[in-house]
Amino acid sequence: MKKQEAPVQKNETVTVTIEDLSHDGSGVAKVSGYALFIPKTIPGEKATVKVVKTKKGYGFARLIKIETESDDRVDPPCPLFQRCGGCQIQHIDYPAQLRYKQKQVKDVITRVAKLPNVTVHGTIGMDDPWRYRNKAQVPVAYQDGEFVAGFYEKRSHRIVDMEECIIQNEHNDAVIHIVKKLAQEYGIHAYDEASHCGTLRHIVARYGKSTGQVMVVLITKGAELPHKQKLIEAIREKVPNVKSIMQNVNSKRTNVIFGDKTKVLWGEEHIYDEINGIRFAISARSFYQVNPDQTNRLYGKALEYANLTGSETVIDAYCGIGTISLFLARKATHVYGVEVIPEAITDAKRNAKLNGLTNAEFAVGEAENVMPWWHAQGVRPDVIVVDPPRKGCDEKLLETMIALKPKRIVYVSCNPGTLARDLRILEDGGYQTKEVQPVDMFPQTTHVETVTLLGRN
C-alpha cells in the first residue's frame, strides 16, 4: 500500500485556523485533515505558520504571524517566555487556562476511559497564579564561556540563564542568584554533561511558606566541594532564614537530578511547613507538593471524596512523606500508608509523630505486594486512596485494589492520560467513576492534577 503524502511540506508557509489545544499546550490546526501542532497559538486564531517537520499522520509548524487574534490572548509577563521551556501557556488568559485544562481532562476520559457521561467539574484555580512554587531545582553549566543557571529551553539541554522566575517564590529566586554568584566567586566549576567534568551540577532551593524557612541543596559530581567552609559562611550571611545547607552527591552520567548520598553541611536536616494545621518536616529529597495553597484544595477534595465518618480503615498507596495520609488520619479510625522509597517512609513516620497522630502506620514496599500482606493480617479497607507518579498505577496494584473491594477509591492523578487508562480497568473490575475534579497546581503550564471518586457497584 502506497504511503500517503502529507498535504504540506517542510519549510512550506500556510495560513491555518487553530481548532484545539494539545496536551503540551500547542495549538492544533488541520490542513486537509492533516494535523499541525503549532506552539504559542490559541484555538479560534487564524495564523500564518511555517512547517518545520512532517510525519506520517501529523506535523509541526512555527508561528510566523497571528492574522486573527483570540480574545484569550495576553502578553506574557516573563521576558524569557519565548525561549524557556518551563511555562507553555503564559500567553493565554488565566480563566481560559482553567477552561482548557477542564477540556483536556474531559476529552481524555471520554476517549480513553470511554466515560462520556462522567461529570468533570470546572478546574479549581488560584486567586493569584504567580510566585507559587516552593521548590526550585536548576542546572548549572558553562555556555559560550559564561557560568549560567536556569531552566532548559524546550526540547533541548541548553540552559536559559535567568535572574528571576515569576512562578517561583522570591526566596528561591534569591537563593539561586546568590549561590550562582558565590560559585563563580570561589571558582567552583559548573558540571559539563559531555565531558563529565566539573563540580556543581544543580542548585536546589526549598521554602516553607508557613514558616519562612529556607533550605539550600548543592548537588555535586563528587564528595569534594572546593572552598566549602567559605561557601557555607557566605550562604548563611546572604540568605535570610536559611535553616539547612545540604550537599547531595550524584557521580553518575544521568539526567536524574539527585544522587543517593545526602549530607548536612550546616544546620538542620529538615525545614518545616504547615498545611491546614498539619506540620511537615521536609528533607532535601522529600516529595512535597510545590504549590502549598493548591495542595490544601487538592487534598481537601480527596478528603471530601473519601467521605470519612470516623469509623473507616483507609489505605494510602504511594503515600510519600504522608501528606494525604495525615489529612485522612484526622478523620479515620486507622490509616495505612505504603511507599517504595525508604526515606519517604522515615519522613512519614516522623510527620505522624510531629502531629501526634498515632492512628497512621507506614510500610516500605510496592503497594501491590504490601496491601495483600495487610489483608492477610486482617486489614479490610473501606477506602483506598492512590496518588501515583505520572506513569499511573501498576496494573497489579489495580488488580489488588479491585480484589480488596473497598467501598470507595479516591484517585489523585497528575496525568489525565494514565488516569483515564486506569479508570477503564477499575470500571471493568466493578467500580463506577462518579465524578472528576481538576485542580490547577501549576498555573501557566499545561499540567493539571485531578481527584476522582469511584464507588463499588
Q: What is the pLDDT at residue 316?
A: 98
> pLDDT of 230-239, one tens digit each?
999 999 999 9
With beta carbons less than 8 A apart as the criterion, state whether 431 and 409 touch: yes
Rounded CA gap, 221 and 248, in Å? 9
| Cα dihedral across residues 232, 235, 236, 241: positive or negative | negative
Residues 33, 35, 38, 44: what is their CA dihedral angle, to the nearest 10 degrees? Answer: 40
Q: Which CA distances in Å does 106 have to 100, 119, 370, 450?
A: 10, 8, 33, 11
Q: What is the pLDDT at residue 85?
A: 83
- 265-271 contacts: CB < 8 A, separation 24 or more? 265/218, 265/225, 265/228, 265/232, 266/232, 266/236, 267/242, 267/243, 268/243, 268/244, 269/244, 270/215, 270/244, 271/206, 271/207, 271/208, 271/211, 271/213, 271/214, 271/215, 271/243, 271/244
Cell of 32: 486537509
| Residue percentage of the chain with pLDDT more than 70 | 99
Q: What is the pLDDT at residue 4?
A: 54
Q: What is the pLDDT at residue 287?
A: 86
Rounded CA gap, 382 and 311, in Å? 9
Q: What is the pLDDT along the chain (457 residues), one digit of tens a residue?
A: 344 578 999 999 999 999 999 999 999 999 999 999 999 999 999 999 999 999 999 999 999 999 999 999 999 999 999 988 889 999 999 999 999 999 999 999 999 999 999 999 999 999 999 999 999 999 999 998 889 999 998 878 899 999 899 999 999 999 999 999 999 999 999 999 889 999 999 999 999 999 999 999 999 999 999 999 999 999 999 999 999 999 999 999 998 999 999 999 999 999 999 999 999 999 999 889 999 999 999 999 999 999 999 999 999 999 999 999 999 999 999 999 999 999 899 999 999 999 999 999 999 999 999 999 999 999 999 999 999 999 999 999 999 999 999 999 999 999 999 999 999 999 999 999 999 999 999 999 999 999 999 999 9
Query: 2 CB contacts (<8 Å, ≥6 apart)?
Result: none
Rounded CA gap, 457 and 454, in Å? 9
Q: 3-class DSSP state for residue 282? A: strand
| Backbone phi and psi for residue 390, each to the nearest 5 degrees, phi listed first | -60, -30
Residue type, 255: N
**437 membership: H or E segment, kind and range:** strand 431-439
Q: What is the pLDDT at residue 159?
A: 93
Residues facing 140 on adjacent strands: 149
With beta carbons less than 8 A apart as the criterion, state whether 213 and 241 touch: yes
CATH 2.40.50.1070 maps onto the chain at 135-275
* Residue 169: alpha-carbon gap to chain centroid: 16
Class of domain 135-275: mainly beta
> pLDDT of 92-151, one tens digit each?
999 999 999 999 999 999 999 999 999 999 999 999 999 999 999 999 999 988 899 999
> pLDDT of 181-194, one tens digit each?
999 999 999 999 88
Q: How many C-alpha atoms does 206 have within 13 Å on its Cβ side?
A: 24
Q: What is the pLDDT at residue 1?
A: 38
State yes or no: is 87 an active-site residue: no
Q: What is the pLDDT at residue 62?
A: 96
With beta carbons less than 8 A apart as the criterion, state whether 218 and 225 touch: yes
Q: What is the pLDDT at residue 444?
A: 98
Residue type, 204: V
Task: Label residues 284-306 b or e (16+ Cβ within 10 Å = b).
Answer: bbbbbbbbbbbbebbbbbbbebb
CATH 2.40.50.140 maps onto the chain at 13-68
Rounded CA gap, 130 and 90, in Å? 11
Q: Which CA distances in Å does 157 have to 105, 150, 447, 456?
A: 30, 11, 21, 46
CATH 3.40.50.150 maps onto the chain at 102-126+291-456
Helices (H) and strands (E) in the chain, counts: 9, 22
Q: Report H helices in 223-291.
A: 228-238
Q: 3-class DSSP state for residue 264? A: strand
Class of domain 102-126+291-456: alpha beta
Residue 180's Cβ-count burial label (10 Å; 0-12, 13-18, 19+) is buried
What interhelical angle do 416-428 and 94-111 show, nearest 10? 40
Residue 378's Cβ-count burial label (10 Å; 0-12, 13-18, 19+) is exposed
Q: What is the pLDDT at residue 2?
A: 45
**343 membership: H or E segment, kind and range:** helix 342-354
Structurally, what CATH architecture does the domain formed by 13-68 represent? Beta Barrel (2.40)
Q: Pick from 310, 304, 355: which is nearest to 331 by CA?
A: 310
Catalytic position from the list 78, 87, 393, 414 = 414
Query: 234 CB contacts (<8 Å, ≥6 apart)?
Result: 182
